[in-house]
Amino acid sequence: MTDDRPHLAVIGAGPAGLAATVAAAAHGVHVTLIDSAARAGGQFYRQPAAELNAGRPQALHHQWRTWERLKDALAHHVEAGHVRLLTDHHVWLVERRLNQWLNQRAGDADRNAFTVHALLGPEQETPAEVRADAVLLATGGYEKVLPFPGWTVPGVLTAGGAQAMLKGTLAVSGRTAVVAGTGPLLLPVATGLAAAGVEVAALVESADPKAFVRRTRALAAQPGKVAEGAQYAAQLLRHRVRLLTRHTVVAAHGDERLEAVTVATLDTDGRVRPGTERRIACDTLAVGHGMLPHTDLAETLGCRLDGIDVQVDDEQRTDVPGVWAAGETTGIGGAALSLAEGHIAGRSAAARLNGTEPDPRTWAPAAKSRTKLREFFAALDTVYAPPARWTDLVTDDTVVCRCEEVTGGAVREAVDGLGAGDIRTVKLLTRAGMGWCQGRMCGPAVAGLAGCELTPSRRPFARPVPLGVLARAGEPESEAEPE
């Protein structure tokens, strides 16, 4: 950075990171916005690759106008030199240097106290570093999928994955899909696939819609969300998508490729009703059971977590000085909540980096929206819970850890035979969670089978790092320059 403004590194260019960047840049802070994708937007505003030259990318999105406002504001700040956007940067570690520079600006952050370490491009072998006075973690979340027989057959993928492939590359994996699991994400996935010409044979939701009616207070506070739901319902009807509630997929069939799924009805205890199984032919199963926050960077920085969410105060500050967090990393709650949190975090960081006490009145509308949306998503969480007896579906042959091919039987043996009572012990006894994804996919399943809570994994790095990069770490660094 050429001038003397304080410097904030925002990690993640989804709704929270974009809102934070725009807010902080508008209040006198230099921002480096760092994202792993080729284009800003995150998962929610994921754009088709530029070379695909999409004339109507909004056909796969909603709240497009919000995206356009954010995109325009970002472009304005980039042009004015207040924001540097680093795309294709995969951050693997944020390092905090204690007391290396004396704080010259007051506020919480030490001057240049943070180094963000990233790997460039899809191959992720070349390192890049960014120094900053403070960091704002807007790393979002990823999908939770609970195992069942056949969930490793090609053609079975996460609901968010189906959506990401559709939004980002305009590709679908087959002709006939079933969308299944639980949670609000299933609606845009099913309607998106249907609009793109895929026959959606069924939307299989394990939750009971009647449970919503009992939560009228949270619903009444969010008329926009209710209207959104109604829109999706109308689209499902228009595309003739069969909606099966209180149902679950009990098995996916196929060898080299998915051929069909078996679905069944759930009883009030969340158990499959015997005799209700039926087979639905399909070549794609998009399945998801909710979302999990990405908290690796926060964990390595030493930020306190609340369960699996990064804990923040009213200003979106973590308990580590100079580190803010916003969006789904602080708890799953959708794009609108991420925007509100990002805005508040950006305002707070700007004020504190400029050495002033922030005035919460300046973000009162965002704070109000944050409160209501958190209430709404807390209510949704109780409705959209995976079937209570989902572990019944995990047979001894079912692969639980996809990377290390650890079966349900092996996990049960570790739990029942060897006394493992937590994810880490199961990992040590079975290798579940020791592969490429580092337990991101199997963590919830192992926790469920071990009868314990899902706990943060304390991974030293947020993604695999080539040994050569680690070997060179600590040598004199050069700051990443924009292309």
* Interface positions with other proteins (CB under 8 A): 36, 38, 43, 48-57, 59-60, 122-123, 142-143, 152-158, 160-166, 168-174, 195-197, 255-258, 283, 402-405, 435-437, 440-441
Burial, 321: exposed, middle or buried (Cβ in 10 Å; 0-12, 13-18, 19+)?
A: middle
CB of 153 to other proteins, least distance (A): 8
Residue 25 or 282: the one with the smaller Cβ distance to other proteins is 282
Question: Can you tell me the distance from the alpha carbon of 459 to that of 296, in angstroms, rounded to the nearest whole number?
Answer: 6
CB of 376 to other proteins, least distance (A): 25
Could you give the count of Cα atoms lying within 13 Å of 241 in the half-sphere of its Cβ? Answer: 32
CB of 393 to other proteins, least distance (A): 18
Residue 83 or 285: the one with the smaller Cβ distance to other proteins is 285
* Long-range CB pairs of 300-309, under 8 A, 24+ apart, other chains included: 300/93, 300/94, 300/459, 300/460, 300/461, 300/462, 301/94, 301/96, 301/135, 302/96, 303/137, 305/456, 307/453, 308/454, 308/455, 308/456
The structure tokens listed for 417 are: 């035979």
CB 260, CB 254: distance < 8 Å: yes
Residue 81 or 122: the one with the smaller Cβ distance to other proteins is 122
Paired with 292 in beta bridges are: 142
* DSSP 8-class letter at 420: -
CB of 24 to other proteins, least distance (A): 26
Spell out a b/e string for 211-231, using b for 16 or more CB atoms within 10 Å of the CB, else e. Answer: bbeebeebbebbeebeebbee
Q: Is 247 helix (H, G, I), strand (E, B) or coil?
A: strand
CB of 6 to other proteins, least distance (A): 31
Residue 164 or 447: the one with the smaller Cβ distance to other proteins is 164
Torsion of CA 90, 482, 43, 352, to 10 degrees: 90
The structure tokens listed for 121 are: 């491009």
Residue 8 or 37: the one with the smaller Cβ distance to other proteins is 37
CB of 315 to other proteins, least distance (A): 29
Paired with 83 in beta bridges are: 31
CB of 470 to other proteins, least distance (A): 17
CB of 222 to other proteins, least distance (A): 27
Task: Describe the strand order of the beta sheet including 83-86 as a list of residue ranges.
Answer: 83-86, 30-34, 7-11, 134-137, 323-325
- Residue 94 CB neighbours (<10 A): 24
Residue 159 or 266: the one with the smaller Cβ distance to other proteins is 159
Residue 37 or 250: the one with the smaller Cβ distance to other proteins is 37
CB of 175 to other proteins, least distance (A): 10
The structure tokens listed for 326 are: 């916003």
Residue 4 or 397: the one with the smaller Cβ distance to other proteins is 397
Residue 7 or 46: the one with the smaller Cβ distance to other proteins is 46
